[in-house]
Amino acid sequence: MPADTIVIVEDELIEAEDIRQTLELLGYCITGIYRTGESALDALKTSRPDLVLLDLHLAGRLDGIDTAEQVHTLYNIPVIFLTAHADDESLERAKVTEPYGYVIKPFDERELHSSIKMALYKHHMEEQAQENARTIRVLANAIPDAVMLLDENHRIIALNDAMARRIGHSPSITDKPAPVIRSGSYGSLTSLESQVSDVLGSLRPTRFEEKTGNEWFEVTLHPVIGHKSSEKQVFVQYHDITDHKIFEDKIKRDGLTRIAQNMEQFQILNDQIRNPLQAIMGYVCLDCIHYRERILEQVAVIDTLVDRLDNGWLESEKVRRFLLRHYRSSQDNAGGSPDGTAPEGGT
């Protein structure tokens, strides 16, 4: 494993050399010694060490603290301050630059060594954590569903790009406290507020469907225990089910089409059976013997019809056109069982 590289920024040469020898014996590689902040920063443009040892009080335009600030902001390299002074004021100022430690001069070799090791380790861990956070952010933003996490007061703790787009919120994953979700303030979340309150109260997940414009969403709310066990949070997910709804609709319409087709079958029976029956009745009322042939003809017509019905095939353009003209949906369906035996009375 290559040695960790260190840059020393120290305006007292003898001190710097001393530190260098010590560190090289410990196994570190010193890639540069600079007397001023500016020259160090200049060098950092091209070559980045793993750590910077920085004297708090430097001569030159930039003092130790300013230099450390730049190192931290521009390059995110861990900094350890070397200082002869340990006064509160300096330390206070230095804190802002987020150094990884201080070593008081004259330094103790072991202290220096452990400070550096600790600093490198912590920095590594932090980079890891940042990488993880970044990975999660990428993952969250890759999810097409709009998701977000709300705290007990309906404030957004985190949200992904899809959710930000949905509610017109500009930052995506944010560390800053976010506006409270209130129905009405974000037009597309009208039913959300009371649902969130319910979930926070019952600590049971809930699911409902919501329509926004022409789109349907399945909204899931899940209670989550936050970082501290007393923290209650709600995970909100919007899943687009527009296509699903369209498909459902189509199936319903297909079903209705089938009902309509069945209705046609019934109406065909109405028309095509009742006429022959009517004729038979008439002939019977007149004179069965005389009209025997006619009666038998009509009976044969009904027989054929029943036959076709048996074979599941019954069609009538005439009936279909009539139904299309005068019937709306299956709500107006008057299809009943053809009960042709009761004689009709006149008015």
Partner 1 sequence: MVTVLQVDDDPAVRELFAIFLAMGGYLPLEAGSGSECLELLKNQMPDLIILDLMMEPIDGWETLAAIKTIPAFREIPVIVVTGKQPSAEEIRRYGGDIWDYIIKPVDIEQVVAGLHTILAKNRGLVCEIAAAIKRGANPRAAEEYARYLRLVTVAHNLERRRRNRTWTENVSIEAEEKRLRMLRSELGIADSPAAEGT
Residues in contact with partner 1 by CB under 8 A are 267, 270-283, 285-286, 294, 298, 317-319, 321-322, 325-328, 332-337, 339-340, 342-347
Nearer to partner 1, 235 or 322 (CB): 322
CB of 328 to partner 1, least distance (A): 6
Nearer to partner 1, 77 or 259 (CB): 259
Give the containing element (helix H, strand E) for 72. none
CB of 263 to partner 1, least distance (A): 10
Q: What is the DSSP string of 297-335?
A: HHHHHHHHHHHHHHTT----HHHHHHHHHH--SGGG---
- DSSP E strands in 18-170: the ranges are 29-34, 51-55, 79-83, 101-104, 146-150, 156-159
CB of 275 to partner 1, least distance (A): 4
Nearer to partner 1, 223 or 340 (CB): 340
CB of 195 to partner 1, least distance (A): 40
CB of 187 to partner 1, least distance (A): 40
Nearer to partner 1, 60 or 340 (CB): 340
Cβ-contact 140, 147 below 8 angstroms: yes
- Between CA 179 and CA 290 the distance in angstroms is 94
Nearer to partner 1, 106 or 345 (CB): 345
CB of 267 to partner 1, least distance (A): 6
CB of 161 to partner 1, least distance (A): 52
Surface-to-core class of residue 68, CB atoms within 10 Å of its CB (0-12 exposed, 13-18 middle, 19+ buried): buried
Nearer to partner 1, 244 or 292 (CB): 292
Nearer to partner 1, 37 or 276 (CB): 276
CB of 337 to partner 1, least distance (A): 6
Strand partners, 32: 7
| Region of residue 158 (phi > 0: left; psi between -120 and 50: alpha; otherwise: beta) | beta
Lookup result for tokens 């069945």 = 262
Q: How far apart are the first and last CA of the chain?
A: 109
Nearer to partner 1, 92 or 317 (CB): 317
Report the sign of the C-alpha dihedral through residues 188, 190, 193, 198, in that order.
negative
* Helices (H), ranges, 27-108: 37-44, 64-70, 88-95
Q: Which amino acid is at 121?
A: Y
